[in-house]
Chain A
Amino acid sequence: MSNSIIVTKNLRKTFITKAKGKKQSVEAVKGINLEIGKGEIFGFLGPNGAGKSTTQKMLATLLLPSAGEARVNGYDLSTQQQDIRRCIGYVSQSGGTDSLSTGLENLVLQAQLYGLDGVTAAKRAEEFIDRFQMTSFAERRALSYSGGQRRRLDLALGMIHHPDVLLLDEPTVGLDPQSRAYLWREIRHLRDEGITVLLTTHYLDEADKLCDTVAIIDNGEIVAAGTPSQLKDDIGADSLVFGFASEQTAQQAQALLVDRAPAENTQVEDHLLRLRLSRGEQALPALLRLLDTQHLPVLSISLAKPSLDDVFLKHTGRSLREDQAHG
C-alpha cells in the first residue's frame, strides 16, 4: 500500500449527453479500483470505448470524476490537482504537438510552462533531443515530421519535467514496427529510472510483452487484473489441434481421447480435432503414442499457450481480436 503511487477507489465517470432534447447518461467508467506500484508499467487492455482513456484523463486532471476518489503520488485528485499536474506527464493519443512550431520550440515552451527558466529549459530540451535522437529534425516545424518522429516528440514533451508518473494513451497506435520497438525500449528504460508508466492499449502483444501488470477493462469495469503470466495461467489449459486425414478419423480420435486422456472441450472441425489441456507440451508425447497404437495417424500438430485474448474471451465472452477486426 505504501508502495502504491496511484490508488483509486470506486472511481466513476458518467457523461450526460443531450440527444434530441432528451438527457441521456452514459456510464463510461463504473467504479474502478486500482493500486499501481511505484516504477511499474501498468497497462489497461480493452477495446475502444471500454473506459481506458476516460480513466486516464481523470487521473491526468482533465476530467472530473463523477464519484469515487483517487490519489496520485499521495495527492488527492479532487483537491490537489495543481500538485498532481506537477508530478505527472500525459501523452494523449493525438499527442498534442504544436505542428506550426519546431520540435525544439515545443520542448522549450513545455519546460517553461513547468516553471523552468529560459536557459534551463533550453538545456533540458537539448538533453531530450539527444536522448530521443531528434537532432536531425528538431529545428524543423513539426508538421513535416513522420509518425515515428512525431511520437518521439510527444513522448519527450510528456517527460520534459521529469515526472514521477507518465500516462500514455495508446502510445504505439499507427506506428511502423521499428518506431514501435524503439518506443517499447524507451518505456522500459523509464521503468528502470523508477518512473511509473500507466498506458492504455488495445494491442494484445503490447500488454503481454511490455506491461508488468495488466488490467483488462471492458464496458467501464475491470474484469481481470494481474501480471500477464498470472492472467494466462488462470486460463490454465493450452490449446492443442491435431490434424487427421479425414473427419471420420478425427471423430475416432476424439472418442478415444475423451475416454482415455485428460482432455477437455474437445471439438471436431472438419478433419481437425481441437482440445484444451493443461501443460500441453508434457502431455503431448503420451497422446501421440496412444493415437499411434490405435492406428489413428496424426498429420499435423499445433500447440498454443493461452494468450491474453483467451483471458479477455473468458471474462467477456468476446474476442478482442474480433473487436479489432470490426472496429
Chain B
Amino acid sequence: MDKMKTLRETGLMFRRSMQHTLRNPIWVFLNLFQPLLYLFLFMPLLKSLGGVPGLPAGKTVQVFIPGLLVMLALFGSAFVGFGLVDEIRTGVIERFLVTPAHRSAILLGRLLKDVVVLLVQCLLITVCALPFGLGVNLGGFLISLLLYALIAIAMASMSYAFALLFKSEDTLASTLNTIALPVSLLSGIMLPLALAPLWLRDLARVNPFSYGVNASRALFAGNIHNGDVIKGFIIVILLAGITFWSAIRSLRKMAA
C-alpha cells in the first residue's frame, strides 16, 4: 500500500521533470556537444597510438567509446543539482515537503528523468560512433546501458545531496568541479590506465568509477561473464545506494 503510494508519487514527479526537459530539449543536445567533440576531434588522435598497451591497433574506437559513455554518465549527471538549488530557493521543494508525498519520491522522480535523458544520449553517441567502425554486441550493450544508468544515479544523487547541503550554486559548482575532474582523470576514460605508471594505477583503484569504465569496455567487447563486469556492477550499485541514501537524508534534514 505504502509502496504503491510512493511509486505513484515518483511517477508524478517524473512526469513533471520530464515535461520541463521536453519543453527545453536544447539542453539534452547541449550536453551532447562535448562528447561529440571528443568523438570527432580527439578520437582520431588515438588512432596513431594504436598498438600501445591497452589500445590494440585498429581497435581504438572499441576502447574509447565505452569510456566516453561513462564520461557522459558522469558529467551529464554531475550538475543536475543546480536545478534543485533553484527549486529550493523558490520554495518548490518546501511546498512538496508539506504535502503527504513520500520524501524519496521527490528525488526518485528527478533521478528517473536524469536516467532517461542519459540513455537517449548514450544511444545517440553510439549511433554516431558506428561509422568509425564501432562494433556493438547487443547483449553487452543493453547491460552496459544499465551500468550507465547506475553511474548516473550515483553521480546525480551526489549532486542532489550537495545541493541540499549547500543550497547555493557557487559552492555547488566548485565542489562538483573539484570532484569531477580527478574522478574522470583517474578512471581511464580518455586513455586506458594500462598506459599509466604503477602509482597512478594504484591511485585509480581507489576511484569507484574506474571499475565502471573497465566493466563498460568488457561489455562492449561482449565479455558479459567477466570479473570486471561483476566487480563494476557491485561497486557502482554500492555507490548509488550510498549517495542516494545521503541525498534522502539531506532532504529530510533540509530545514530541521
Min CB gap B109→A, angstroms:
11
B252's closest neighbor in chain A, by CB? A64
Chain A residues near B20: list those with CB within 8 A: 100-101
Once A101-B19, A110-B99, A113-B9 are accepted as A-B contacts, the answer to whether A92 and B91 lie under 8 Å apart by CB is yes
Once A95-B91, A96-B92 are accepted as A-B contacts, the answer to whether A105 and B19 lie under 8 Å apart by CB is yes
Chain A residues near B255: list those with CB within 8 A: 57, 62-63
Query: Which residue in B12, B19, B23, B95 is a CB contact (below 8 Å) of A157?
Result: B95
A117's closest neighbor in chain B, by CB? B8
Main secondary structure of the interface of A (DSSP, over half): loop
Once A64-B256, A95-B90, A96-B92 are accepted as A-B contacts, the answer to whether A101 and B98 lie under 8 Å apart by CB is no
Chain B residues near A98: list those with CB within 8 A: 16, 87, 92
Query: Looking at the complex, which of A82-90, A184-192, A243-251 is the stretch in contact with chain B?
Result: A82-90
Cβ of A113 and Cβ of B90 under 8 Å apart?
no
> Cα distance A82–B87 when bound, in Å?
23
Q: Is A97 among interface residues, defined by CB-CB distance under 8 A? A: yes
Q: Is B101 among interface residues, defined by CB-CB distance under 8 A? A: yes
Query: Which residue in A62, A64, A94 is a CB contact (below 8 Å) of B97?
Result: A62
* B225-256 vs A, Cβ < 8 Å mask (1 yes, 0 no): 00000000000000000000000000000011
Q: Is A74 among interface residues, defined by CB-CB distance under 8 A? A: no
Cβ of A94 and Cβ of B89 under 8 Å apart?
yes
Min CB gap B250→A, angstroms:
14
Q: Is B197 among interface residues, defined by CB-CB distance under 8 A? A: no
> Cα distance A101–B91 when bound, in Å?
14
How many residues in B have their beta carbons less than 8 Å from beta carbons of A?
A: 22
> Cα distance A105–B20 when bound, in Å?
11
A111's closest neighbor in chain B, by CB? B99
Q: Is B202 among interface residues, defined by CB-CB distance under 8 A? A: no
Q: Is A179 among interface residues, defined by CB-CB distance under 8 A? A: no
Min CB gap A77→B, angstroms:
13
Contacts of B150-197 to chain A: CB distance below 8 A: none
Once A62-B255, A92-B95, A113-B12 are accepted as A-B contacts, the answer to whether A97 and B90 lie under 8 Å apart by CB is yes
A102's closest neighbor in chain B, by CB? B19
> How many A-B pairs fall under 8 Å by CB?
67
Cβ of B99 and Cβ of A94 under 8 Å apart?
no
> Cα distance A115–B12 when bound, in Å?
11
Q: Is B100 among interface residues, defined by CB-CB distance under 8 A? A: yes
> Cα distance A202–B92 when bound, in Å?
24
Chain B residues near A57: list those with CB within 8 A: 255
Once A85-B99, A90-B98 are accepted as A-B contacts, the answer to whether A109 and B16 lie under 8 Å apart by CB is yes
> Cα distance A63–B256 when bound, in Å?
5
A85's closest neighbor in chain B, by CB? B100
Min CB gap A104→B, angstroms:
12
Chain B residues near A60: list those with CB within 8 A: 98
Cβ of A92 and Cβ of B94 under 8 Å apart?
yes
Q: Is B38 among interface residues, defined by CB-CB distance under 8 A? A: no
Q: Is A61 among interface residues, defined by CB-CB distance under 8 A? A: yes
Min CB gap A188→B, angstroms:
23
Q: Is B132 among interface residues, defined by CB-CB distance under 8 A? A: no
A114's closest neighbor in chain B, by CB? B99
> Cα distance A10–B32 when bound, in Å?
56
> Cα distance A98–B23 when bound, in Å?
14
Min CB gap A198→B, angstroms:
14
Q: Is B29 among interface residues, defined by CB-CB distance under 8 A? A: no
Min CB gap B21→A, angstroms:
10
Cβ of B23 and Cβ of A114 under 8 Å apart?
no
Chain B residues near A114: list those with CB within 8 A: 99-100
Min CB gap A310→B, angstroms:
34
Chain A residues near B90: list those with CB within 8 A: 94-97, 99
Cβ of B23 and Cβ of A109 under 8 Å apart?
no
Chain B residues near A112: list those with CB within 8 A: 12
Once A96-B92, A97-B92 are accepted as A-B contacts, the answer to whether A109 and B98 lie under 8 Å apart by CB is no
Contacts of B15-33 to chain A: CB distance below 8 A: 16, 19-20, 23
Cβ of B100 and Cβ of A115 under 8 Å apart?
yes
Min CB gap B129→A, angstroms:
33
> Cα distance A325–B168 when bound, in Å?
29
> Cα distance A97–B5 when bound, in Å?
23
Cβ of A113 and Cβ of B19 under 8 Å apart?
no
Min CB gap A124→B, angstroms:
14
Chain B residues near A93: list those with CB within 8 A: 91
Contacts of B70-94 to chain A: CB distance below 8 A: 87, 89-92, 94
Chain A residues near B5: list those with CB within 8 A: 115
Cβ of B100 and Cβ of A113 under 8 Å apart?
yes
- Chain A positions within 8 Å of B, measured between CB atoms, are 57, 60-64, 82, 85-86, 88-90, 92-101, 105, 109-110, 112-115, 157
* Inter-chain pairs besides A90-B98, A96-B95, A114-B100, 18 sampled, C-beta below 8 Å: A63-B255, A63-B256, A82-B100, A85-B100, A92-B95, A93-B91, A94-B89, A94-B91, A95-B91, A96-B90, A96-B91, A97-B90, A98-B16, A101-B16, A101-B20, A109-B16, A112-B12, A115-B100
Q: Which 3 pairs between the two chains have the least Cβ-Cβ distance?
A: A96-B95, A96-B91, A94-B91
Q: 8 A-B Cβ contacts within 8 A?
A: A64-B256, A90-B94, A94-B91, A95-B90, A96-B91, A105-B16, A113-B100, A157-B95
